[in-house]
Chains A and B, each alone.
Chain A
Amino acid sequence: MHLVLFFIFGGFCVAGALNLLLQRHPINSALSLIVVMTSLAVLYLLLGAEFLAAVQVIVYSGAIMVLFTFVIMLLNAQREERTHGSRAAYILGFPGAAALFAILAFIFVQNGKSLGFVDLSPSTMVGTHQLSEVLFRNLLLPFEVTSVLILIAILGAVALARHHEPPRNQSRPAGKEQR
């Protein structure tokens, strides 16, 4: 049962990711990203991480993707154009991605035996209690420092996107101010 579900949703995930890359319209790409996120949530559930699965659906498929689609619609983004550079990206990108995939697949298959198995019986399940212990105790500092990361992201968005009125004092040519 687990295996069947894994293959179904793993397939969805890969298909969604490929569709995301191949679609030329940003909205279609964003919608296929929702498919990827949701099928990932199911995969997490299959691995016994219920909390992570729920958070994945709420945060990624919900909040973040809504924001994505809003931004795309607000910007009124059109179909992407093919340029000389994008053709070069196809020529170099596909073999590069294929090579990376081949290396990783080879290593995972070859070392599959030694990777071990996870016991998914209820007694070994990781609940929110253990999760919060890791997040708010062992990894407290990285968790707190993330706030600085978010702060600079907001700061940067404001600084780069803010609309500036033209300088009041037009008579002063640039570069001649007293220092």
Chain B
Amino acid sequence: MNGSMTVLRILPEIIFTITGVLIMLVDPVMPREANRKPLGWLAVFGALAALVASLYQYSLPDGTAYFGVVQTDAFSVFFHVLISGIILVSALVALDAVHPDTENLGELFALISFGAVGMLLMTSGVELLLVFIGLEISSISTYILAGFRRKTAKSPESAIKYFLLGSFATAFFLYGIALTYGATGTTRITDIATGLATTHDLPIAVVGLAFIIIGLAFKVSAAPFHLWTPDVYEGAPSPIVGLMSTAPKAAAFAVLLRIAYEAFPQLQSHWMPLLWIIAAISMTLGNLGALRQKNVKRMLAYSSIAHAGYLLVAFTVLSADGVAAASFYAVAYAVMNVGIFAVISHAGGYEDRLTLIEDYKGLAYRSPLLGGAMAFFLLSLIGIPFTGGFFGKFYVFASAIHAGMIWLAIIGLINSGIAVFYYLRVLTAAYTKPLDTSPVLNVPRASFPLLLALFLTVSVTLILGIAPDRILKGARNAAETFPILSSQQPPLNATPGAPSMAELSHKP
């Protein structure tokens, strides 16, 4: 094995680890009263370096390292780039929202960096034990970050809730791995498929897979495992919510895709209906729940449940189109969600001054920039053309319809209609002229990190909405790394005459 190549395959992870350790080393030697914001810049530059390293990984030949435990291929590198980008923007948003005397600032940025290590390992791990440890790193860092506003009642409550329910879900995931090992004699994702072909213990493998799906469905907050989401999002600091509603979810979706399509393709008749049901329930419960919310963060929590549902629709399409649509949707969702939480955490601050939808009245008059950015992200979440959200939904539902999942697509489209109501409620609040008697909305001036974060998210959302070809091609290449979906093999559901995703993208 080539020594330097081995290290290059986990380069972004190494960069994030070094960043976290550096922050931890610099933090105690700084004077007690010193402004700890430079530590945030350290995290930002670490994330930037990891992003560059992830992009560099595209030039590596596909292959495994460390005795076949990690694998860099188009799929894992695609998600590496996505997650490093999310961490970069989230670190900028956090840097904008915190004050110099916010407590535990060094730990905040160190945990963001370390959490990223886990998420990246989840996407490139092809050994379930490594995936499990990565999942734990990413989960435990988010449990802690959720409870960072210790002085409030809600934040520790949300952390405890998240921790207890999350540990329960982790136990399911681990039990699933154990049962899979019992059935196939291996925990290597690539070997499970071959093990399944010769095994006689099919029911055990099915139960193992079901447990793994339960564990991961919790992590992506898909219904009926979504109960923690609104409470946790409400209690956690806003910049952290932007991070934990996107990056760990993208990583968990990547794991679910890899496990479903690479480890258990033989069992697709079992997992497909399961994911069908989870997708339908998530979309419906998420959107109906969001309609009733007055608190903006709780509303976005329900909306993230609904978006997890849309993404899972693409899972049931047993072709490269489906996987590509799911990966594309993960990017579109992540960018617009990080963006809207950037606006919220700037307007509301680290202490969450604005909670209700009414509180946002007149935001656009007070700060046209923030109001405009918020409007843009809300339109993207609705799925209006020329935004990333539109093409995300379009590819998901188009691939579902071509695979014959008409009913699921109909449920999804009805839900997208329902979603317009509650997103527009926030939008109209932001553009309502406040009464003269109402207290003046005090929005701090936009800082450089915030402007940079907004520029990045808005421009990527626009690019996704206007010229999605390149990113779609990346998603398409990612999908084809799965042996069962590669173009050499006949597609799983050969529907004659169905146009491929590449053709679809030219006639939206």
Q: Which residues of A contact B (CB under 8 A)?
A: 103-104, 107-108, 110-111, 114-115, 137-142, 145-146, 148-149, 151-153, 155-156, 158-160, 162, 164, 167-169, 174-175, 177, 179
Q: Are A142 and B144 CB-contacts (below 8 A) given A114-B201, A137-B67, A164-B103?
A: no
Q: Complex: how many Å from CA A104 to CA B179? A: 10
| CB pair A179 B96 closer than 8 Å | yes
Q: Which residues of chain B are near A151, meaning CB under 8 Å?
A: 20, 114
Q: Complex: how many Å from CA A145 to CA B129? A: 11
Q: Which residues of chain A are near B127, meaning CB under 8 Å?
A: 139, 142
Choose one: A138, A139, A145; the contact of B121 (CB below 8 Å).
A145
B11 to chain A, nearest CB (A): 13
- In this complex, how many residues of chain B approach chain A with their Cβ under 8 Å: the count is 53
Q: Which residues of chain B are near A174, meaning CB under 8 Å?
A: 99, 351
Residue B66, interface by CB 8 Å: yes
**Of the 9-residue stretches B39-47, B130-138, B467-475, which lies at the interface with chain A?**
B130-138
Q: Which residues of chain B are near A162, meaning CB under 8 Å?
A: 104
Q: Which residues of chain A are near B33, meaning CB under 8 Å?
A: 168
Of B24, B33, B137, the most chain A CB neighbours within 10 A belong to B137
Q: Are A152 and B137 CB-contacts (below 8 A) given A138-B67, A174-B351?
A: yes
| CB pair B140 A152 closer than 8 Å | yes
| CB pair A142 B133 closer than 8 Å | yes
Q: Which residues of chain A are near B10, meaning CB under 8 Å?
A: 141
A138 to chain B, nearest CB (A): 5
Q: List 13 A-B contacts (CB under 8 A).
A: A103-B207, A108-B204, A115-B204, A145-B137, A148-B117, A148-B137, A151-B20, A152-B111, A155-B114, A156-B144, A159-B111, A168-B33, A175-B442
| CB pair B204 A111 closer than 8 Å | yes
Choose one: B114, B130, B207, B349; the contact of A107 (CB below 8 Å).
B207
Q: Complex: how many Å from CA A108 to CA B150? A: 46
B185 to chain A, nearest CB (A): 10
Residue B107, interface by CB 8 Å: yes
Q: Which residues of chain A are near B465, meaning CB under 8 Å?
A: none
Of A114, A141, A169, the most chain B CB neighbours within 10 A belong to A141
| CB pair B67 A149 closer than 8 Å | no
B387 to chain A, nearest CB (A): 29
Q: Which residues of chain A are near B136, meaning CB under 8 Å?
A: 149
Q: Are A159 and B148 CB-contacts (below 8 A) given A107-B203, A149-B136?
A: yes
B473 to chain A, nearest CB (A): 30
Chain A residue, CB-CB nearest to B129: A142
Q: Complex: how many Å from CA A82 to CA B115? A: 36
The 10 closest A-B pairs by CB, nearest first: A156-B144, A114-B200, A159-B107, A141-B66, A142-B130, A159-B104, A107-B203, A138-B67, A152-B114, A141-B69
Q: Which residues of chain A are near B66, meaning CB under 8 Å?
A: 140-141
